[in-house]
Amino acid sequence: MHDIRSVRADPAAFDAAMVRRGLPPVAERLMTLDATARATQTKLQELQTRRNETAKLVGMAKRQGQDSTGLEAAGRAIAVEMAALEESLPQQQRSLRDILETLPNILDPDVPDGADESANVVLHQHGEPPRQNFAPKQHFEIGEALGLMDFAGAAKLAGARFTVLRGALARLERALGQWMLTLHTERHGYAETAVPYLVSAATMYGTGQLPKFEEDLFRTTDGRYLIPTAEVPLTNLVRDDIIVEAALPLRFAALSPCFRSEAGSAGRDTRGMLRQHQFQKVEMVSITRPQDSAAEHERMTECAERVLTELGLTWRRIVLCAGDTGFGAAKTYDLEVWLPGQGAWREISSCSTCRDFQGRRMNARMKPVEGKGNVFVHTLNGSGVAVGRALIAVLETHQQADGSVVLPEVLRPWMGGLERIVAA
């Protein structure tokens, strides 16, 4: 959410920020709606003063035995005019808010220009794609050959974009989630948090999923929404709060299922587990002072990178360009992992700083140690990482010529000491 005062202060800069996002200039329209609403508010205040003064005169006239008929008529006329304005003001304010709440965040200056993912910039790479002396298979080929990945059974139960895992692969999914959550809580300082998987519309609004992205969500019959990521409930823990500066940063982590309708993804990644309606993810969320959010963004991304390194994966960090940065983010790093079976880089984590964009929507503020006036907190979120995609990467990276999969050492304690997954 944007502050209309910042639009008034520099409409040209605001328009330039929206143009970077591929949107048309909108400041003039916003300021016109704002001016109309403010004029109505001013008129109401003036009428309120006149009504109070008129009421006093009526009282004085009656106490002095004078005719107050004219004054009373004037008071009624003022009341009628006020009622009309009181009805129109919320509509005017809503018209302004309807536009503001659908406009994306302003990008950080160092976000590269560009219309789509082709303009994203690789910042650094860890490792080189492995050279295998056999033709590597894709994860679904590996899983089906092991007899532990069942897409037909999932389709029978729920339709397309679901997966049933069995045996060692089901345990591997559990092990990955538990290990990553433990890593982030015990070594990276995040507080483990168990959150609701169903949330209110107000919660979805706070992090920017509503109203713009409702078609991407699953809604229940009682008006709640299945969470698309634990970012939503974790970030909203501070909604409407005033946090003392000394308590920041707050760092939360959760392992949760995520539910996404994948609207607009028809024909994309239809085979395998890459794009599912339901998947597990470890999510990291930070609530910081405004001056700390840039450094926290780097820290959070490094926490996600450590996961990939310890799993023995080849990965790279990318900064997303203007046209590929998400609605609520001011800057996003994507982590991509090399999948030998696909022979391609695929996203496995996104870490974003939202600056005060979500804080403003949630009315989440910080009480400074020095100075007057509360300020909106900055929020950040990052995948630490998507469990299903980590499972895919482990299968494809550590597959062997005989069809087995060697498990990374960090996972073996979570797998009961198992070193290799073989056919069931």
Q: Which of 350, 352, 360, 365 is catalytic?
A: 350
224 labelled catalytic: no
Summarize the annotated binding site for L-serine as residue ranges.
229-231, 260, 283, 381, 383
Cα(150)–Cα(156) distance, rounded to whole angstroms? Answer: 10
Is residue 38 part of the annotated active site? The answer reads no
- Residue list for the binding site for ATP: 260-262, 347-350
Distances (CA, A) of 182 to 20, 76, 169, 386: 39, 68, 20, 15
Q: Helix, strand or coil for residue 355? A: strand
Structure tokens at 259: 């539910």
Q: Token pair of 204, please?
A: 């979805």
Token couple for 315: 């990965």
Q: Are 315 and 127 in contact (CB under 8 A)?
A: yes
Burial of 166 (0-12, 13-18, 19+ CB in 10 A): middle
Both structure tokens of 350: 């996104």
Q: What whole-number distance in Å separates Cα of residue 341 and Cα of residue 112?
A: 31
* Cβ-based burial of 33 (10 A; exposed 0-12, middle 13-18, buried ≥19): buried
Q: Which of 21, 97, 166, 275 is catalytic?
A: 275
166 is catalytic: no
The reply to whether 346 belongs to the active site is: no
β-pairing, 242-244 vs 225-226, is: unpaired
The amino acid sitting at 278 is Q
Q: One of 251, 299, 365, 389 is an active-site residue; which one?
A: 389
Q: What is the dihedral of CA 251, 255, 261, 267, to 10 degrees?
A: 110
Which residue out of 72, 347, 404, 412 is catalytically annotated?
A: 347
**Which member of 171, 260, 355, 361 is catalytic?**
260
118 tagged catalytic: no
List, as residue ranges, the binding site: 229-231, 260-262, 283, 347-350, 381, 383
Catalytic residues: 260, 275, 347, 350, 389
